[in-house]
Chain A
């Protein structure tokens, strides 16, 4: 078990470009979460998957954001037409679907800088 992994760790992009991040959860975990963390703040929930189904989305997730988990394993988060306000750390977490749904384990994050 290597924990939750995220790729890339850092991304610098110009305003208006599209970016995509990947998250690989702990292998037996069927729940996957995306959070966003801005400087000096705690993480804020964006969206949640159980297996391949996206079951909850925050109002923070504008139409420019889309997340997928096509086979119920890894997930991608895409941001279209990036804006400077999208600069943040994007964190992925995973948990077991039963028994320990309350234990969310986080990856190292992808730090996005929009110039």
Chain B
């Protein structure tokens, strides 16, 4: 199967780090993604990681990939109120054309 699982909700204080987790099941996935969706809007591509990497850093974002456990995480440093949104992880299986998304994690940043 191609189920991608995420926890539904995360609340953090402004300035703290946020860690959003994702578990995927398709071991053939070549790329894994993080998208951000603000209310009523489409999806914004934040970052992605190739399956032969175990870490990628992009400014405040750090992606960690554990292929053995099929676990992906997104760390947001110095979380701001503008980071409040739903975050989706997604996988792109080798040979396929579609992205398979998780159910999303709603991040709430409190003052």
Residues of A at under 8 Å CB distance from B? 4, 6, 31, 33, 35, 40-45, 48, 55-56, 58, 91, 93, 101-109, 111
Other-chain contact of A40, B4, B42, B100, B103 (Cβ < 8 Å): B103
B101 at the interface (CB under 8 A from A): yes
Q: Could you say which residues of chain B place their CB within 8 Å of the CB of A33? A: 97-98
Per DSSP, chain B at the interface is strand
Beta-carbon contact of B99 and A108 below 8 Å: no
Q: How many residues of B contact A (CB 8 A)?
A: 22
Knowing A43-B43, A109-B42, the reply to whether A103 touches B48 (Cβ < 8 A) is yes
Select from chain A the residue with minimum beta-carbon distance to B96. A56
Task: Take A40-B103, A42-B88 as given contacts and tell me if A103 and B45 are in contact as well, using a CB distance cutoff of 8 Å.
Answer: yes
Q: A45-B100, A102-B30, A106-B42 are in contact. List 9 more A-B contacts (CB 8 A).
A: A42-B101, A101-B97, A102-B92, A103-B45, A103-B48, A104-B99, A105-B45, A106-B44, A111-B40
B97's partner among A40, A55, A111 (CB-CB below 8 A) is A55
Contact partner of A104 among B30, B41, B45, B102, CB < 8 A?
Answer: B45
A35–B100 Cα distance when bound, in Å, is 10
Complex Cα gap A51–B102 (Å): 28
Question: Which of B42, B100, B104 interacts with A108 by CB under 8 Å?
Answer: B42
In contact, B31 and A102 (Cβ under 8 angstroms): yes
Given A40-B103, A42-B90, A42-B102, does the pair A106, B43 have CB atoms closer than 8 Å? yes
- Bound together, the chains give a CA A52 to CA B87 distance in angstroms of 32
Q: Which 9 A-B pairs have CB atoms at the shortest separation, nearest pair first?
A: A42-B101, A45-B98, A106-B43, A106-B42, A108-B42, A102-B31, A48-B97, A109-B42, A42-B88
- Report the bound CA distance from A101 to B92 in whole Å: 10
Question: Which B residues are in CB contact (< 8 Å) with A93?
Answer: 43
The reply to whether A91 and B42 contact each other, CB–CB distance below 8 Å, is yes
- The chain A residue sitting closest to B32, CB to CB, is A102
What is the CA–CA distance of A42 and B36 in the complex, to the nearest angstrom? 11
Q: B41 to chain A: which residues have CB within 8 Å? A: 108-109
